[in-house]
Every structure is written in structure tokens, then in C-alpha cells.
Amino acid sequence: MLKALTLFSLLFLSGMASAESSSTKTALSPEFIIRQEITLNILITNLHLLQLDFQNQKAREKLQESLILLDNSLSQLQANQGDKETRELIKNARVLWPVVKQHAEWIARLSEAKKAPDTHSLHLALVKLDRQLLILQQKLAIHSPQNTPALAFLEQALLMQRLSREYLSLTLDSKQKDIVASGQMQIQILIDHFDQKLAKLTPQLIHYPQGANSLKKVLVTWNYIKEGIMSFPEQSIPELIARHSSQVVNRLTSVYQLL
């Protein structure tokens, strides 16, 4: 049986309940799609952790939580919403999800296996699904009148989760020097982007002491994460990076909900 949901899962479920009570138009907001992207990247991160250690029970539980959340929320996407491009993106996401779900659930049930099975085809499907959601989010961000400055905190949470995912992916390929070199360059770009965006968030919290305090904690944790990531490949600490990245995602999400 699953343990109690993590703080992030509770926050996420709260947001999902709010989305369900809103109109269909709200469900197609940038916020709704970003939340799905965050959860999808949590799912990918924990698949990577299981590949590194298939007996990692915490990663298995978080994988199962992500599957439940995504299965509930992606079912809200109606294929007849929006313009032709939007409908096509939603259709693609709805087609890819059952493939991802079936394969990921199978992996989650293999608790007695000593070694992780081949997940190459699953990761291909995950990358495609992530791409469809990203394009959909970008499209909605351009046209949605609901965009607010506060949304930047949720976008920052997604960026942190993507960084964690990329780092874990890199640790899996640590023996392939060409992939490591390319991956390090990509991660450096993400780190610089995260730093730049983080610096722009502080001024929004002048009138929110609680949010400002949370953001200070984000900065402390982020500096620790960054140092750990930059130490690769001399030092590899995937589970530590994943855990602290999750803390940053939780805090950024809570600040967004505060505003």
C-alpha cells in the first residue's frame, strides 16, 4: 500500500480539485498544463532513480503517486477544445498517455526484480508526451488572458524539476564520455537560466513576507544543488539532488499558491 502522499502531492491534488471545479477553459490554462509537466517530470525522475537502484522503494512510491495524479488530470483534457493545433496536441497527449501508463505501471509492480528492465521505449514515449505538453503550454501562454506574474514561480518549479531530470539522466550515461560532455553543456544552460529567472522573482514578494522567506530557503537549497550538479562526473549524488530538487519544487509551488 502507498504511504501518505508527499507535501507536493497534496498541494498538487488541491490544485487539481480547483481545476476540476472550474470551467473547461480554465483546465486548459498554462497553470494546468505546467502542473502536468511538473508531475510528468517527477515520474521521469523516479524512473531514473529506479534504473540506478531498482530496490529504491521511495522512488517506486513516488512513481505510483505520479501515475495516479496524471491519470486523473490528463483525463480532463477534452480533444474538442481550442483551435486545430490545440486539438491535435491534446489528441497526441491522450494517445501517448495510455502507453506510458501501462508500461510505467508494469515497472512499478516489478518490486521483486533485482535489476531494472529496459525502459528505452518507455522513455521515448515520455519524451514525446513531455514535448506535446510543452508546446501546448507555450501556445496557451501566448494566448491566455489569465497569465499573471505569479505564474513565473510555477514555471520556475518546472525548470527545477527538468534540471533534476536531466542530471539524473546524465548519471545513467556516465560511462559515455561524448554524452556526458554534451549533457554537461545542456545542464549548464539550464543552471544559468534558473539563476537568471530566480533573480527576477524576489521583487514580486515585497508585500509577502511568508513567500519571501520561502524564496530565501529556495536560494539556499538551490546553491547546494548547483554545487552538487557541478561536481559531476567527479562526484555523483543523484538521490541527494533529486531529494533537494523536490524541496525546491514544493516551496516554489507553495509561493505560487500564496500569491
What percentage of the chain exceeds 90 in pLDDT? 71
Q: How far is CA 67 from CA 200, 229, 236, in A?
A: 33, 27, 27
Following CA atoms 107, 113, 118, 124 in sequence, which dihedral angle do they give, to the nearest 10 degrees?
20
Location of C-alpha cell 498517455 = 97
Give tens-digit pLDDT for 139-153: 998 877 666 889 999
Q: How far is CA 116 from CA 66, 119, 174, in A?
A: 19, 8, 17
The pLDDT of residue 77: 87
The pLDDT of residue 146: 62
All domains of the chain in start order, with CATH: 1-147 (1.20.120), 149-259 (1.20.120)
* Closest listed residue to residue 77, CA positions, set 129, 155, 141, 1: 129
Q: Enter the C-alpha cell of residue 127.
A: 519524451
Of these ranges, 22-26, 110-114, 203-207, the one predicted with the greatest mean pLDDT is: 203-207
The pLDDT of residue 145: 63
Of these ranges, 2-6, 82-86, 152-156, the one predicted with the greatest mean pLDDT is: 152-156
The pLDDT of residue 27: 65
**5 falls in which pLDDT band (50, 70, 90)?**
very low
DSSP one-letter code for 115: S
Contacts 24+ apart (CB under 8 A), 202-208: 204/149, 204/150, 204/152, 204/153, 204/259, 205/255, 208/255, 208/258, 208/259
Q: Please provide the size of the chain in residues.
A: 259
pLDDT at 61 over 80: yes
Give tens-digit pLDDT for 46-57: 999 999 999 999
Calculate the average pLDDT of the chain.
88
Give tens-digit pLDDT for 71-114: 999 988 887 888 899 999 999 999 999 999 999 999 998 877 77
Burial class of residue 134 in the structure, from the number of CB atoms within 10 Å of its CB (0-12 exposed, 13-18 middle, 19+ buried): middle
| pTM exceeds 0.85 for this model | yes
pLDDT at 201 over 50: yes
